[in-house]
């Protein structure tokens, strides 16, 4: 298993480097000469990735919050969205799904080059512009933002509002997260309508009906979750969230621990 994870890690780094148009051998020369290295083509939106164990309960609500925003929604299928958010994979799941889960399990929160490049490679594979990496900092979840094209973390950190019920159940919400992340992505502009072409009589045979496509993940029951509870809580906790900036320039968006 260790050798397989190492192979996946090296393959992930290689994928990112190849898509970025640079190589490890050429990197020192480029830095020394002051040349600007090419970056990978910009993807679309943000993909949420859970790193480590015990993160799924916090990563899923953040994924729902982000994927509801059309400007942040990546090109994901339902199963990939679930796996990346930390959901367990069945033993008889397709090989591609199991490999995605293995790569996710190999990710770390380290800020070294191999860790960042593997995470960037995962984001590039999902055609995302940024990766929102959710992990646990002690007993509290935290989300950091990595830009896929540069494999570097942005100076921003997101924290949830934590609500505990009388029965001891913990629920996480991420007020203000989507609005904050919209400032970091390229918002697609609506294309101008094409001019109407003159109507022509066609002699072609009727086109065959298209095969049904899989349901998009943002239309699944998993994606929406407890909508009513989230909307009701969001209006209340948004007032108590705050943005702070520390001496290093790191911007932190924090919620609160509700009683």
CA distances from residue 106 to 120, 195, 204 in whole angstroms, order as listed: 13, 50, 53
Reading the block at residue 71, the tokens are 């400007």
**78: three-class secondary structure by DSSP:** helix
Please report the pLDDT score of residue 206 as a whole number. 59
Reading the block at residue 222, the tokens are 């998993």
Q: Using DSSP bridges, classify how beta strands 257-258 and 130-137 pair: parallel, antiparallel or unpaired.
A: unpaired
Local confidence pLDDT in tens for the 259 residues of the chain: 444 444 444 455 444 434 433 333 333 333 333 443 444 445 899 999 999 989 999 999 999 999 999 999 998 889 999 999 999 999 999 999 999 999 999 999 999 999 999 999 999 999 999 999 999 999 899 999 999 999 999 999 999 999 998 888 999 999 999 999 999 998 766 555 666 666 665 556 556 555 555 555 556 655 555 544 333 333 333 333 455 555 555 566 655 545 4
Please report the pLDDT score of residue 52 as a whole number. 94
How far is the C-alpha of 117 from the C-alpha of 138, rounded, in Å?
25
The owner of tokens 């015990």 is 54
Please report the pLDDT score of residue 200 as a whole number. 62
Please report the pLDDT score of residue 250 as a whole number. 58
Q: Are the beta carbons of 133 and 113 closer than 8 angstroms?
A: no
How far is the C-alpha of 48 from the C-alpha of 66, rounded, in Å?
8
How far is the C-alpha of 22 from the C-alpha of 30, rounded, in Å?
9
178 contact partners, CB below 8 Å, separation of at least 6: 65, 66, 68, 69, 72
**102: three-class secondary structure by DSSP:** helix
């Amino acid at each position: 298993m260790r050798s397989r994870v190492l192979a996946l890690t090296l393959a992930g780094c290689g994928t990112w480097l190849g898509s970025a148009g640079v190589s490890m051998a050429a990197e020192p020369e480029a830095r020394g000469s002051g040349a600007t290295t090419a970056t990978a083509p910009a993807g679309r939106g943000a993909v949420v990735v859970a790193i480590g164990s015990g993160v799924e309960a916090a990563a899923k609500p953040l994924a729902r919050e982000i994927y509801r925003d059309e400007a942040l929604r990546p090109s994901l299928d339902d199963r990939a969205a679930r796996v990346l958010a930390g959901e367990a994979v069945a033993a008889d799941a397709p090989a591609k799904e199991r490999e995605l889960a293995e790569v996710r399990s190999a990710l770390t929160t380290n800020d070294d080059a191999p860790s960042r490049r593997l995470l960037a490679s995962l984001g590039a594979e999902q055609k995302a512009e940024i990766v929102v990496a959710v992990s646990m900092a002690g007993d509290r979840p935290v989300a950091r933002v990595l830009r896929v094209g540069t494999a570097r973390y942005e100076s921003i950190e997101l924290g949830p509002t934590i609500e505990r019920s009388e029965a001891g159940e913990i629920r996480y919400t991420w007020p203000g997260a989507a609005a904050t992340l919209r400032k970091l992505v390229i918002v697609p502009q609506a294309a101008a309508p094409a001019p109407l072409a003159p109507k022509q009589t066609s002699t072609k045979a009727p086109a065959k009906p298209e095969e049904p496509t899989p349901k998009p993940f943002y239309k699944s029951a998993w994606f929406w979750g407890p909508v009513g509870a989230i909307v009701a809580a969001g209006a209340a906790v948004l007032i108590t969230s705050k943005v702070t900036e520390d001496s290093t320039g790191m911007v932190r968006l924090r919620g609160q621990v509700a009683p």
